[in-house]
Amino acid sequence: MRFVRDNGLSIFFLVIFLASLAGQAIAGHGAFNHDQLLHHGDPISLGRYLTTSEFAADVAENWQSEYLQFTLYIFGTVWLLQRGSPESKPLDNAGLESDEDQKVREHADARSPRWARVGGLRTTLYGNSLLVVMTTIWLASWLAQSIAGASGYNANQLDHQAATVSWVHYLGSSDFWDRTLQNWQSEFLAVGSMAILSVYLRQRGSPESKPVGAPHDATGLEG
Amino acid sequence: MTPTRQALPVAVAVLALAGCGRSGDRADARSVAESFYAAAAGHDGARACTWLSTGARQALEQDESEPCARAVGQLKLTGRRARRVEVNSTNAAVALRGGDVVYLEETQQGWRISAAGCRAPAYDKPADCEVQS
């Protein structure tokens, strides 16, 4: 039970991620088969639908935009500030900060991760590991979106007896950029909204909010 | 590396490879296209019609006002052996040597021809086909 209590946030989001992925599969399967029938085709099983490029592209296009959101958020909050927002660092603290503040190298303590202590390339790498991993997952899922999306696009071309396109051509297509940008705009809006709404609004008990009684211009406080 | 961190790169790779075609799809699509053209060339209309999708068969019978087995003999079909096979998700195209392009779809009976005797497909304009669903 202690494990559940100590990891409740991760467990909760893992469970609802799996539930919504399953729901997306079921709803997407229904929509796919509806389109099949409209085109005088045969419906396919749920298991078959899960191996189609249409499903893969629908999943990947959302993953890539989420990881881009976090990539930009992590990187942006190093350098950019928002007066009054708990999402921002204090106004005099933009940038990578001192080794002492970051508790690296000689300023690390006994409980610091080993790579924070050792110095050299390992400490530099560890000090940017969150951004590196988020960026890698973003690029990998965007690549997956492009490959699966090209296949799904070409499947639709073939269904209409039209010529298919190469992957490179697909990267410049309106279909690829429509899928990409419709996801990006919502992610950027969400993060931007959070940055500014948290200046004026509060949620008691959440670390994403300032304390309820904190002034609007207090920056970098967590509730 | 924890199981979750191991699962994520695998999941991304699986997503990328989805739709590249299951093993056997290309061979099956090729076989259906070549079998249809061989049957049509051999004047075996009944056998040829077994390779058409339900939609293609109905469209052919409607256009020619004849049963499929007879109507297929009216089609102007060119080519026998496949030059190129392309599979994308549940759709495929087989380009025949010196001749037509054949379009197929995955049905409950396997790959079946949705359009045959097609020429000059363009990016934004469907090909002209002798028969299509």
The neighbour count for residue A172, using CB atoms within 10 Å, is 9
Helix (H, G, I), strand (E, B) or coil at B54: helix
Q: How far apart are CA B87 and CA B29, in angstroms?
A: 8
pLDDT band of residue A221 (cuts 50, 70, 90) is confident
B26, B85 Cβ separation under 8 angstroms:
yes
pLDDT digits (tens, 9 = 90+) for A89-113: 999 999 999 999 999 999 999 999 9
pLDDT digits (tens, 9 = 90+) for A6-59: 999 999 999 999 999 999 999 999 999 999 999 889 999 999 999 999 999 999
Question: For residue A160, what is the nearest residue in chain B, using CA coordinates?
Answer: B126
- Could you report the predicted ipTM of this complex, rounded to two decimals? 0.88
Helix (H, G, I), strand (E, B) or coil at B71: helix
pLDDT digits (tens, 9 = 90+) for B18-48: 655 576 999 999 999 999 999 999 999 999 9
What is the CATH class of B21-132? alpha beta
Shortest distance between the Cα of B126 and any Cα of chain A, in A, equals 4
Shortest distance between the Cα of A110 and any Cα of chain B, in A, equals 23
> Phi, psi (5° rounding) for residue A84?
90, -5
**Alpha-carbon separation of residue A39 from A42, B51, B114 (angstroms):** 9, 18, 10
Give mean pLDDT, residues A149-176: 96
Q: Which residues of A touch B108 (CB under 8 A)?
A: 42
Cβ distance of B18 and A148 shorter than 8 Å: yes
A133, B9 Cβ separation under 8 angstroms:
no
Kindly list the domain boundaries of chain B, sorted by start residue: 21-132
Interface test with B, best of A158, A159, A174 (most B CBs within 10 A): A158
Report pLDDT for B19: 53
Q: How far apart are CA A222 and CA A90, in angstroms?
A: 12
Least confident range from A197-211, B8-22, B41-55: namely B8-22
Name the amino acid, one letter, at A220.
G
Report pLDDT for B99: 81
pLDDT digits (tens, 9 = 90+) for A72-85: 999 999 999 999 99
pLDDT digits (tens, 9 = 90+) for B78-98: 999 999 999 999 999 999 998
Report pLDDT for B1: 45
pTM of the predicted structure, to 2 decimals:
0.89
Burial of residue A214, with CB atoms counted within 10 A of its CB: 0-12 exposed, 13-18 middle, 19 or more buried: middle
Residue A1 has pLDDT above 80, yes or no: yes
A26 CB within 8 Å of a chain B CB:
no
| Strand (E) or helix (H) holding B111 | strand B110-118
